[in-house]
Structure 1
Amino acid sequence: MKTVGLTVLAVAAGAIGWSGNPLTLPLAFGFPALWANSPSRIASGIMSAGYFLAASRGLPQGVVSYFGSGIAEGLALWLGASIAFVAVHAVLWTSRPGRGRAVRYAVAAVLMSVPPFGIVGWAHPITAAGIVFPGWGWWGLAAAAIGLLAMTTKVWPIATLVLAGAFAWSAATWTNPNLPDGWIGVDTEFGGERGKYAGFSQHRETIAAVNAAAAQGQKVVVLPEGAAGVWTPTVERLWLHELKGVGLTVIAGAILIEGQGYDNVMLEISGERMRILYRQRMPVPVSMWLPWSAPGGGSGGARAHFFANSIVDLAGQRIAPLICYEQLLIWPVLQSNTYDPDLILATGNGWWSGHTNITAVQRAAALAWARLFETPVVFAFNR
């Protein structure tokens, strides 16, 4: 009965906490207490599965939409993605209370933050640090980590009250980060299809939206992941020609094919030049990055640049880029924030997510990190 009760609470924490509303993220702070109070190792695994599967409940439908497959494939990938999270927390669970239990949870939290386990490390409770301790930066991250560890000890009721009080103050004074002057993110609704990229008509529509932003006085326009499609010399000439004399910089997502694989990139485009601004560190496993291929990618899949180009420079500003899946993970955003960025660029292409909450969860996670470090964030998503 205790296992059933804890699992129900874990499912609620996962489902409500990761609903896509940033103000519900702190419910994830309850997970360590549920883990610590599990009556057995098997129970901790069941409870962990309930939390993770509830938090990622949009994945099966997203898989069906992306691959055009049946629900069985979607359920298989959903369950497969949970294995790392469940295994790490079940193996490190201990029945002995005290400092050792807190240390074991700390190890689990770190393992789920960095590769290889961190590659599927979404729904990490530490993501809520920016909601509970906005503006505290690294001190807020440390405070959240201490709070999570305290939740595994006998003082968890006190830790709950402290965290709840901090959250109440944060919620009462909540404000979204301001956009920097002259910057704007443009959302699109082009939809999509696996293996299909921007055609000529889409390019024309996107360029028209960019010119409309320029007419309003914007200086930098951020477009979603994949907005510029497969980048070719012909596409480059089109964009350079259309932006010539406009006095505008466009940051657009694109696919850059090289050899047997490709890079998912952000491009900086103006009327004078184009340059590769960023190569994605962690593309979506299986659908983009193929774990069974060479470590850097290839074999037709996207390359993963795990710890590369964590910060980029644009117009004298340090930019922290996060493309789609990276917004759900821990190490990309923390790696970028070690360089004290002036701005976060959070882009995505969520056509495949349908009516699920996947893109809303991505936005909430990115916003939480932006609030933690008091860093402006520019969003641009395609639906």
Structure 2
Amino acid sequence: MKQAIHPLTLFLIGAAIGWFAWPHAIWLAPAALVAIPVVASRGWAGPFLLMLGYHLATTWGLIHGTAVFFPSSGLFLGLAFWVGSSLIFALPYLLYSPIFRKARSVIGVPYAGVLTTVFLSAISTVFPPLGIIGWTSPWLGAMSAGWTGVMLVMLGIAYATLGRSQAAAGLAIGLSTTATLWAGSFALAADSHAPAGWVGVNTNLGHLDSPLSYIEASMRLEQRTMALLHNGAHVVLLPETVAGPWRAGTEAIWRPVVRWTAAHRNQTVFVGSFVPHGRGYIDALVQIHDGQTRVLPDHIPVPFSMWHPWRPEGSFRMAPFSREPEMTKVGALRVGYLICYEQLLMWPALNLAFHNPQILLAPANDWWARGTDIPAIQRASAKAWGAFLGVPVLFAVNQ
């Protein structure tokens, strides 16, 4: 009976951490990382079961979201994405015990625990190829408190690896880590406001599913944008893809804005669009400034729904190793951007850290995720990245 209960207990511990952490208390998420070496001492499958429970609890919104995006697939495809992705995220942790044993003989127990945990979590949710689908990473909770939070979580992992003899010290580190991350979450909420005159436009356009719907949306948004510019907005950010494909007709609709910025060089507009590229597209922001347009491409579009290499026609470009930073300038300000799905991930945001942005743009198109916790998770992730980078975040979301 004990053998049957034990694996379920480990699974439920991970599920409880994930359920309570996302999206409203992500500072709790690193508890999963601290728990990994503890459950590893109970058996080789412990870390796998813990992280499987964690990811199943954080990604359940895929069931409903997939059914909305792919209405002909019914419930089955959503269940497959939910269970399949969670299994993939958890699989690297099956290697915890053999890697830990080898590292322990070289660098000692606590360092081996930290190294093994960081290495496997990086494979699972940071580095491509798994990093292009690895959302709700437990490291994001630590990131919200900056490098201090990251180092405290590593210290907590080290003490947890030492086992029961260091239980009191481990508890103290766990409590201090939680307090630091909790404080980081409050600092994040206090400092996330964009500069005065920077306006993110939220819309309720729903699913734009035809060329005519994109034209109508562009015409309405162009008028709304012009009104904001007339009222003195310095920067206007529009949601992801709301302008549709950036072709000659779309450019013609937005030409009044282009002309306006030629005469008002202190004003800039970012339009969510997708730009023709080969047989497919690039998900992008079109920056309109000084009478010119510039395409700002993303690096990682949503797999399956946007990026589908098995059917190149209409597929969006995937470029996780692009050397072109997701950065631009507005006046003297260095501006970073993460387009929709990228806000959930570790890899593109960590790349931004090397370029020292001063503000972060976070456009999204979440019509398909209404009724799930995915938009809230996305917003929490973007705010965590803003806190880690020490910059305000400007949101613009279509629902």
TM-score, normalization: structure 1? 0.89
Once the two structures are superposed, what CA deviation does each residue of 1:321-376 show, in whole Å capped at 9, x if it has no partner? 10111111111111111111111111110000021011111110110111122201
SS of the residue 1:199 aligns to: helix
The corresponding residue for 2:272 is 253
Question: 1:260: how far off?
Answer: 1.4
Whether the 8 Å contact between 1:198 and 1:228 is mirrored in structure 2 is no
Report 1:268-279 matches (<5 A): 268-270=287-289, 272-276=291-295, 278-279=296-297
1:72 aligns to 2:76 (yes or no): yes
Preserved CA contact (<8 Å) 1:344 1:375: yes
Alignment of 1:306 with 2:313, yes or no, is no
Tell me which residue corresponds to 1:110. 122
Q: Is 1:232 aligned to 2:247, yes or no?
A: yes
Aligned to 2:190: 175
Q: 1:346–1:380: 8 Å Cα contact kept in structure 2? A: yes
Deviation per residue, 1:43-87 (Å, 9 max, x gap): 432322111011111011111000112101110111221232111
Equivalences for residues 344-359 of structure 1 within 5 A:
344-359=360-375
Instruction: Identify the residue that residue 64 of structure 2 maps to in structure 1.
Output: 61
Distance apart, 1:178 and its partner CA: 2.7
Q: Distance in 1 between matches of 2:333 and 2:396?
A: 19
Distance 2:69 2:186 in 1: 39
Superposition pairs for residues 63-102 of structure 1, below 5 Å? 63-68=66-71, 69-93=73-97, 98-99=109-110, 100-102=112-114
Who is 1:51 aligned against? 54
Structure 1: how far apart are the matches of 2:394 and 2:283? 19
Other-structure match for 1:16: 20
Whose radius of gyration is greater, 1 or 2?
Answer: 2
Contact 1:184 1:221 (C-alpha < 8 Å) held by counterparts: yes
3-state DSSP of counterpart to 1:78? helix
Give CA deviations for 1:9-34 in whole Å, capped at 9, x if unaligned: 2112111211x22xx00211111233
Structure 1 distance, partners of 2:291, 2:97, is: 57
Map Cα deviations across residues 59-116 of structure 1 (whole Å, 9 max, x no partner): 1111100011210111011122123211111222458683333321121122131111
Q: Could you tell which deviates more after superposition, 352-361 or 211-220?
A: 211-220
Identity of aligned residues (%): 29
Shift of 1:148: 4.6
Q: Identify if the C-alpha distance between structure 1 residues 196 and 208 changes in structure 2 by more than 3 Å, giving closer, same or farther.
A: same
In 2: Cα distance, 1:179 partner to 1:203 partner: 25
CA distance in 1 between counterparts of 2:258 and 2:392 reads 26
Aligned-partner Cα distance in 2 for 1:237–1:47: 54
Counterpart residue number, 1:122: 135
* Deviation digits for residues 276-322 of structure 1 (CA, Å, limit 9, x no counterpart): 1x2111111111112557xxxx4431111213322422223222110
> 2:216 pairs with 167, 187, 201, which one?
201
Q: 1:157 aligns with which of 171, 179, 183?
A: 171
Q: Secondary structure at the match of 2:45?
A: helix
CA–CA distance in 2 between the matches of 1:195 and 1:86? 39
Considering fraction of residues, name the structure with more helix: 2
Matched positions, count: 371
CA contact (8 A) 1:252 1:266 kept: yes
Matches of 1:291 and 1:101, distance apart in 2:
38
Give the 3-state SS of the residue equivalent to 2:397 in structure 1: strand
Instruction: Name whichever of 179-188 and 56-65 sits farther off.
Output: 179-188
**Structure 1 residues 281, 162: closer, same or farther in 2, change over 3 A?**
same
Indicate conservation of the 8 Å contact 1:126/1:145, yes or no.
no
Deviations 1:187-219 (A, max 9, x none): 111000567684322112212221232243211
Q: CA deviation at 1:220?
A: 0.9
Q: Which residue of 1 aligns with 2:395?
A: 379
How far apart are the structure 1 equivalents of 2:132 and 2:160? 25
- For residues 292 and 142 of structure 1, what CA distance do their matches in structure 2 show? 41
Quote the residue 2:283 is aligned against: 264
Q: How much is the aligned-residue C-alpha RMSD, in angstroms? A: 2.4
Structure 1: runs of 5 or more not aligned: none
Q: Normalising by structure 2, what TM-score?
A: 0.85
Equivalent residue of 1:255, what SS?
Answer: strand
